[in-house]
Structure 1
Amino acid sequence: MSPGLQLLLHDASGEWSSAQYTFDQIAGLLMRRTTSKAQDETVAVAGLLGVDVARLLNETGQDARMRAFLLQVETVPAAMVLANAPARLSFPGFRWAPRSFGGIEEEFVRSAGVATCTADGLITRRELTILSFPKVFVSNSETSSPDRIYLHLPESGSLYAMPDLRKLGGEGVHEIDAVIIFPSAPETPLVARQPVVVVSTVNAAPGQDAEEPLECVYRFRAYLGNWSDRFRPSQMYPEMFDRPPGEVFITAQRWSRRVMIT
């Protein structure tokens, strides 16, 4: 597609005007699709979003073009980090970003608002819920890594379970100390099994520099379930909680903050 090509839309009135599309519309059309030339995916849709094709063609490879594409689009759904993408970029600041929009099976969560894509990371424009806890190391090892973590919030008596960590974490060893919850709907802060982003935070402290977004390193996508109704508050202590090998009980803290996911 030529950088100077202008796309026109012929509307019902018979008038021609510049075609206007949103990132949500384009990404939604590409979901659940495949292409024989993945590196040209962003080039093919660039003109629909006002993205400079020449700048994409100056990049070599699928990953570099996706990074350049997102930087030009700039405003994306905040919950794009929740996409169940088969693979993600490895560039610092873009570990959250899918390598391709094709193959994503779920729609982006709309109620989380939008975020700004920068070279340093994805910055949310609204506060999100954070559950922070002492550092845990997760890998696919059956002997050295927990497979399920229970997060207990003493102030509310809530208990959440995060299962299948060895599988979801994939290759490598991941240091984690927080999960980020994106609302599934304005009135529903947490459902029975909700996708969440598992991260490691940088200098995290509730209330510290609250105006600045909390910097978080993206680790992997997981699921959080509400187990509060399964145990009485008196049972929610490590010494009283009967847990098999591979399961860890941790005290967590809940707070809200804008985040920058890198």
Structure 2
Amino acid sequence: MADDVHVVYKVNGAGARKGGATAALSRLFTRGPAPGMREVHAVKGVTFVAYKGEAIGLIGTNGSGKSTLLSAIAGLQPVARGRIYSHGQPSLLGVNAALMNDLTGERNVVLGGLAMGMSKQQIRERYQSIVDFSGINEKGDFISLPMRTYSSGMGARLRFSIAAAKDHDVLMIDEALATGDAAFQRRSQARIEELREQAGTVFLVSHGIGTVRETCDRAIWLEAGVLRMDGPADEVCDAYERFTSGR
């Protein structure tokens, strides 16, 4: 549950490096702000309740606050005002989630599984299914190569496959389905359905409205940090497409 959630963060703007060390020390002792520092009010008073078994799509134009909201739900981004309540442990999967590029895919499966809370025994039992699900070995033994040799799509598929191998109370996916081919997207959507049947809750951030329609039964539309619409996925996606087509 998100209750009147506001997220504000600071970014360095033009002039942030001016002034040198002396000016920086002066600001430190006077508690003054750095020049060029500005606040971004990324999420503005968002309230909703998510229920077990739901798959909820988060849609909106670039910079609308979707990924920031997911980070706040996962506890990775502090909220300025409001509260977030959860009956389970949220897990955030983004395509930019860091794996270790100098290690092989095989080693990253182990490390990623441990990071997701799986035991070594569970990783051993699920290892082959993770590799098969990702499809990265379909054209060669890529799992034994360093991650730096992977394309961005291969890396994203492996990250999703590791996360999908574990049952989650709340799984949040940030654009992970946009990088796979049609076969991988079908596997991903089937896995999301399994997670829902196991009483989990799934949030999906995607610019692909078709993916949200096919995968989610509910959608939340954020625009400029404000919750603009929350309802059945088809209705919200229709309204969003009318909005974007008229811009």
Using structure 1 for the length normalisation, give the TM-score: 0.28
Q: Which has the higher helix share?
A: 2
Q: Which has the higher strand share?
A: 1
